[in-house]
Chains A and B, each alone.
Chain A
Amino acid sequence: MAQMNLLQAINSAMDIAMATDDSAVVFGEDVGHFGGVFRATSKLQEKYGKERCFNTPLTEQGIIGFANGLAAQGSTAIAEIQFADYIFPAFDQLVNESAKFRYRSGNEFDVGRLTVRTPYGGGIAGGHYHSQSPEAYFTHTPGLKIVVPRNPYEAKGLLLASIRDDNPVVFFEPKRLYRASVGEVPEGEYTISLSKAEVVQSGSDITLLGWGAQMELIEKAAKMAADIGISCEIIDLRTLLPWDVDTVAKSVCKTGRLLVSHEAPITGGFAGEIAATIQQECFLHLESPIARVCGMDTPYPLALEQAHMADHLKIFEAIKASVEF
Chain B
Amino acid sequence: MSLEPQHQVHKAVMTSGHALKIPELKILQSDGTPYPGATLPDIDQELALKIYDTAVFTRVLDERMLAAQRQGRISFYMTCIGEEAAVVGSAAALSQDDMIMAQYREQAALRYRGFTTEQFMNQMFSNVKDLGKGRQMPIHYGSNELNYMTVSSPLGTQIPQAAGYAYGQKRAGKEAVTLCYFGEGAASEGDFHAGLNMAAVLNCPAIFFCRNNGYAISTPTSEQFAGDGIAPRGVGYGINTIRVDGNDMLAVLAATQQARAIAVAENKPVLIEAMSYRLGAHSSSDDPSGYRSREEEAKWREHDPVLRFKLWLLAQGWWSEEQDEALYDQYRKEVLAAVKVAETLPKPAYDTLVTDVYDTVPEHLEKQLQETRDHMARYPDHYPADSGKEA
User: Which residue of chain A is the closest to B133 with respect to CB atoms?
Assistant: A303
Partner of B185, one of A54, A58, A125: A58
List B contacts of A129 (CB < 8 A).
136-137, 152-154
Residues on A with C-beta less than 8 A from B250 are none
Give residues 273-315 of A contacting B (CB, 8 Å): 296-299, 301-304, 306-308, 313-314
Please name all residues of chain B whose beta carbon is closer than 8 Å to the beta carbon of A55 when the two chains form the complex: 218-219, 223
Known interface pairs A127-B140, A304-B134, A307-B383. Does A298 touch B353 (Cβ–Cβ under 8 Å)?
A: yes
Does the CB pair B372–A307 fall under 8 Å? yes
A314, B225: Cα distance in complex, Å: 49
Q: How far is the CB of B282 from chain A (nearest CB, A)?
A: 9
Q: Which of A30, A88, A302, A306 has a CB less than 8 Å from the CB of B136?
A: A302
> CB-nearest residue of chain B relative to A311?
B382
Comparing B60-68, B81-89, B257-265, B373-381, the segment that makes contact with chain A is B373-381
Whether the Cβ atoms of A267 and B364 lie closer than 8 Å is: yes
Q: Does B69 contact A (CB under 8 A)?
A: no
Q: Which of A126, A296, A301, A306 contacts B134 (CB 8 A)?
A: A301
Rounded to whole angstroms, the CA-CA distance of A131 and B218 in the bound complex is 22
Residues of A within 8 A of B353 (CB): 296, 298, 301, 304, 307-308
Size category, B interface: 35 or more
A85 CB-CB contact with B under 8 Å = yes
- Interface residue A191 (Cβ < 8 Å from any Cβ of B): no
Known: A58-B188, A62-B190, A317-B375. A307 touches B350 (CB 8 A): yes
Question: What residues of chain A have their CB less than 8 Å away from a CB belonging to chain B?
Answer: 29-30, 32-34, 37, 54-55, 57-62, 85-86, 88-89, 125-130, 267, 296-299, 301-304, 306-308, 313-314, 317
Give the CA-CA distance A127 to B309 in the complex, in Å.
37
Q: Per DSSP, are chain B's interface residues mostly helix, strand or loop, or mixed?
A: loop
- Once bound together, how far apart are the Cα atoms of A34 and B282, in whole Å? 13
Give the residues in chain B near A127, CB-CB below 8 Å. 135-137, 140, 153
From B156, B217, B285, A34 is in contact (CB under 8 Å) with B217
Given contacts A33-B218, A89-B190, 10 further A-B contacts (CB under 8 A): A59-B188, A85-B153, A89-B154, A89-B191, A129-B154, A302-B134, A303-B387, A304-B352, A304-B353, A314-B375
> A302 and B375 in contact (CB under 8 A), knowing A55-B219, A307-B383?
no
Residues 128-166 (chain B) with a chain A CB within 8 angstroms: 133-137, 140, 152-156
- Which of the residues A61, A88, A313 comes within 8 Å of B375, measured between beta carbons? A313
Q: Given the complex of chains A and B, what is the CA–CA distance between A299 and B219 in angstroms? A: 30
